[in-house]
């Protein structure tokens, strides 16, 4: 069995340190967000999805190789039966420094305290509007109030900092930018505005809904002085700001207009057991087949190393380009 070596550091071919694995624990979800799913989205057969035991093994191997940060995502990770047990096991892995989860927040009221007790450090919660009717239009479910209670439950349970992820779409929820940013003036939450990415659809079609972080920033500047927060080593893709005197933060994530590929530190494991070197590429490496055919830990390490060596310097997805992704977000977990 592989154990964590505190001195191991993974580097990709461009000498970027890779220490972060995002793990999709299910492709299923109780919402149907319009930027993530289409009416054609179908769940994969259960037998094609990694079991919790298999996820734990792959995560253990990754942590032994030098991964220090794990994020569980989906689909909706809190819909996966046994998620608390998985968190409890993963949180005990030696060498792991940060264990986070991205959720739509609909099940947090019931689960926030148990998640904390199981060893989860923090959550990112998706919220694209403060308006109940619009929430229903964007997600297919009338659950805004439940999510808002879930956000408060997460903060009360100590799953901090609570980060709120907002995908901004022109003509859908862009009029909500200021209302959502206002949450950072009222609460110690980090409100992160994410550029809409054309996943699984024609980028030229999607372009009409795109709003750049530059445009979002100039609207926020009109609300008050935005003070930049200096970047720290373990910061993710967000450029961080604070309004003067505000308890919370603002983050801007420009996946399309301001590539952060040069700082990329991550690999992804899909729910159906494939390693993905990049979110915005269809490249993937099958690990579920070798795993089920009896691969040793050393074999699995070699597969991680192979995926790592295929990380590109920069993604090629452009609204005006001919690169089109087959992959849908719900299959990779963001």
β 10-11/17-18 pair status: antiparallel
Smallest distance, Å, CB 243 to ligand SF4?
Answer: 27
Kindly write out the interface string for residues 254-293 of this chain, putting x where it contacts ligand SF4 by CB under 6 A and - elsewhere: ----------------------------------------
Buried b / exposed e along 33-64 (16+ C-beta atoms within 10 A): bbbbbeeeeeeeeeeebbebebbbbbbbbbbb
Smallest distance, Å, CB 31 to ligand SAM?
Answer: 7
Q: Between 203 and 333, whose beta carbon lies closer to ligand SF4?
A: 333
Handedness of CA 320, 325, 331, 334 (dihedral sign): negative
**126 is an interface residue for ligand SAM by CB under 6 A:** yes
* Lookup result for tokens 């295929």: 310
**330 is an interface residue for ligand SAM by CB under 6 A:** yes
The option from ligand SAM, ligand SF4, none interacting with 64 (CB < 5 to 8 A, set by class) reads none
Q: Between 66 and 77, whose beta carbon lies closer to ligand SAM?
A: 77
Instruction: Look at the chain and count its residues.
Output: 334
**Which one of 50, 69, 76, 189 is in contact with ligand SF4 (CB under 6 A)?**
76
Smallest distance, Å, CB 54 to ligand SF4?
Answer: 21
**3-class SS at 201?**
coil
**59 is an interface residue for ligand SF4 by CB under 6 A:** no
Spacing of C-alpha 28 from chain mean position:
15
DSSP state of 275: E
**Which one of 23, 70, 74, 246 is in contact with ligand SF4 (CB under 6 A)?**
74
Q: What is the token pair recorded at 325?
A: 């992704």
Name the nearest CA neighbour of 161 among 232, 94, 73, 249: 249
Binding stretches for ligand SAM (CB under 6 A)? 29, 35-36, 73-74, 76, 102-104, 126, 165, 167, 194, 196-197, 199, 329-330, 333-334
């Amino acid at each position: 069995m592989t154990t964590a070596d505190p001195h191991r550091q993974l580097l990709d071919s461009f000498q970027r340190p890779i220490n972060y694995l995002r793990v999709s624990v299910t492709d299923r979800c109780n919402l149907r967000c319009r930027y993530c799913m289409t009416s054609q989205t179908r769940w994969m057969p259960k037998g094609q999805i990694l079991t919790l035991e298999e996820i734990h093994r792959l995560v253990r191997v990754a942590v032994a190789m030098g991964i220090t940060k794990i994020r569980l995502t989906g689909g909706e990770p809190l819909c996966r039966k046994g998620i608390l047990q998985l968190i409890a096991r993963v949180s005990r892995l030696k060498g792991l420094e940060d264990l986070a989860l991205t959720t739509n927040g609909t099940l947090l009221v019931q689960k926030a305290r148990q998640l904390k007790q199981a060893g989860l450090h923090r959550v990112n919660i998706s919220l694209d509007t403060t308006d109940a009717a619009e929430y229903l239009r964007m997600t297919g479910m009338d659950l805004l109030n439940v999510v808002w209670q879930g956000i408060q439950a997460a903060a009360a349970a100590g799953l901090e900092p609570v980060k709120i992820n907002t995908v901004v779409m022109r003509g859908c929820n862009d009029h909500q930018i200021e209302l959502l940013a206002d949450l950072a003036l009222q609460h110690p939450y980090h409100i992160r505005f994410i550029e809409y990415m054309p996943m699984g659809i024609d980028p030229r079609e999607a372009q009409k809904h795109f709003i750049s972080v530059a445009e979002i920033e100039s609207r926020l500047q009109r609300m008050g002085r935005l003070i930049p927060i200096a970047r720290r080593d373990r910061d993710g893709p967000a450029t961080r700001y604070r309004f003067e005197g505000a308890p919370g933060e603002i983050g801007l994530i420009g996946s399309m207009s301001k590539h952060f590929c040069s700082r990329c530190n991550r690999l992804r494991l899909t729910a159906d057991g494939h390693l993905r070197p990049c979110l915005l590429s269809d490249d993937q490496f099958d690990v579920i087949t070798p795993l089920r055919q009896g691969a040793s830990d050393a074999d699995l390490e070699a597969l991680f190393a192979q995926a790592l060596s295929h990380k590109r310097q920069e993604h090629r997805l452009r609204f005006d380009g001919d690169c089109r992704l087959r992959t849908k977000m719900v299959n990779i977990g963001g």
